[in-house]
Amino acid sequence: MADQPYRKFVVVGGGTAGWIAAATLIQALKGKVGEVELIESDEIGTVGVGEATIPPIQFLNGLLGIDEFDFIKKTQATFKLGIQFRDWGKLGDQYFHPFGPYGEPFEGVGFHHYWLRLRAQGEGGSLDDYAMATVTARMGKFAVPPKELPPGVPGLGYAYHFDAGLYAKYLRAYAEARGVKRTEGKIAKVELRPEDGFVSGLTLADGRRVEGDFFVDCSGFRGLLIEQALEAGFEDWSHWLPCDRALAVPCESVSPMTPYTRATARAGGWQWRIPLQHRIGNGHVYCSSFISDDEAAATLLANLDGKPQADPRPLRFTAGRRKKSWSKNVVALGLAGGFMEPLESTSIHLVQTGAMRLLSLLPFGGYDPAAELEYNRLTQIEYEQIRDFIILHYHATERTDSPLWNHCRTMAIPDSLAHKIELFRNRAKIARFDDQLFAEPSWLAVFLGQGIAPRDYDHLADVPDYAVVASRLRGVGQKIAGIASGLPSHDAFIAATCKADPLAS
């Protein structure tokens, strides 16, 4: 029955999503509260486009007790200080979304308001000069930051670029060593209990049956359990995010390895560039209503750093989310739960937060409708907030050179995003919501980077003497430049601490 205790957890599908789910479950259960089984088939490929991450992944690695440098070596990883955006606001423009703040607030007022005060007088330089991550990335430098930096110097956040296939392999070894049972096989049938519609078990193609109390659907876009069996429904966001296809291709690595991801806007979409130790990951996300597959492939292949190492691999998708990520005794993670293009490297993060949310709400004593409702409420909020941030990149543009950009520039946007834009444009204030992933510096980077200039600032920034403010900002910029210039190059840091072994050919 629905109220029976949860002791057997079954993860459907491998890849990054499946093995994150299995690893977090087994780490939490520690083999004492329940058992974990993962079903996957080597015959079914994984998408694995999300090779770039954001700083919260450090929390996941810490929770699992993963050694940072070992993880980097095993996944051919590099470090990531942010994302460089090219040609988004208009052709020829570029800006940087840093991992970390711009300066530090003082006297209870955000740093950027003081900068806007100076800028109104033709002083203050570029806001980028006050972000540790931006200055360090610009110099091609990196080092794991100390726990404490000099007063007034903002923190240096970082994440990773890694090979998603090697990451899944790494997590599989971790999970199996702690007791996760891996079952090879294709699922032929999802069995539902007739009395309540809960999933009771899975029949594999060879006739074997796998029973479970709770199931985690990591089966990819098809949503084998959450959609095909339980019909949770899908909320389509393609009217705001029209890109529906991608081509992915690796190319030869070039030196030096940049400590950031690059996203370059193209006529029919955008192209990613993700530097790894052994190669560069590239992809072209595009809208099939505006350019053909052949045009997209030609654009991608014409803009690689080195020789391609494979033929472009096609992917098709629809932006949106499941209307219910948790239904009955099934939670969907990864592509089974929804999809948003990897413009801000959120794919793996959504798996991570979904798994953490599940652990915090999982009712071990049996089904709890309140837990299901709360999980779905929080998941909806998270997806919608990330959705708005991605839409901002497309909508805040002056580009008129192609049908895609004309569509995105003039389209209606969600009220929640329109409110954020108007508040920033009027007063340089950034509306914040509970537990929002992208903090003030992230919105600030994209607003300013794509040409949304505030008409005014918080005039509490006028209270300190102008000379004091100017001196303080000048000192912050000088400290940041001095610290960054003293760091090793990104390549040198990796070579000294976490260089990966060459992959077997």
Q: Over the stretch 110-159, which tens digit does the pLDDT of each residue have?
A: 999 999 999 999 999 999 999 999 999 999 999 999 878 888 889 999 99
Active site residue 307: no
Query: Quick one: which of 391, 317, 28, 57 has its CA closest to 175?
Result: 28
Residue 495 lies in a domain: no
- 347 occurs within a structural domain: yes
- Counted residue by residue, the chain has a size of 505
Q: At residue 44, does pLDDT exceed 80?
A: no
Q: Note whether residue 487 is domain-resident.
A: no
Contacts of residue 421, defined as CB under 8 A and 6 or more positions apart, other chains included, come to 392, 396, 413, 447, 452
Q: pLDDT band for position 1 (50/70/90)?
A: very low
The answer to whether residue 106 sits within a structural domain is no
C-alpha angle 24-378-201 in degrees, rounded to nearest 5: 50
Q: Within a 10 A sphere around the Cβ of 8, how many other Cβ atoms?
A: 16
pLDDT at residue 435 in the model: 75
Closest CA to 216 of 9, 48, 362: 9
Tell me the mean pLDDT in the region 103-111: 94
CB within 8 A of 336, min separation 6: which ones? 13, 17, 217, 218, 219, 220, 221, 222, 223, 224, 225, 226, 227, 322
- Low-confidence winner among 166-175, 256-265, 320-329, 433-442 (lowest mean pLDDT): 433-442
CA separation for the pair 82, 84 (Å, rounded) = 7
Residue-wise pLDDT tens digits, 318-377: 999 999 999 999 999 999 999 999 999 999 999 999 999 999 998 888 899 999 999 999
**Secondary structure element (H or E) that encloses residue 481, with its range:** helix 466-485
In a domain, 69, yes or no: yes
pTM of the model: 0.96
- Give me the number of domains the chain comprises: 1
Q: Are 268 and 322 in contact (CB under 8 A)?
A: no
Q: What is the pLDDT of residues 55-94, one digit of tens each?
A: 999 999 999 999 999 999 999 999 999 999 999 999 999 9
CB 114 within 8 A of CB 195: no
- Tell me, yes or no, whether 273 lies in a domain: no
Of the listed 80, 141, 420, 479, which one is catalytic? 80
Does residue 343 form part of some domain? yes
Average pLDDT, the chain: 95
Give per-residue pLDDT as tens, 459-499: 999 999 999 999 999 999 999 999 999 999 999 999 999 99
Closest CA to 388 of 336, 343, 357: 343
Q: Which domain holds residue 218?
A: 8-77+162-235+322-384
CATH number of the domain to which 330 belongs: 3.50.50.60
Structural domain contains residue 68:
yes
Distances (CA, A) of 396 to 18, 90, 237, 257, 425: 35, 10, 18, 30, 12
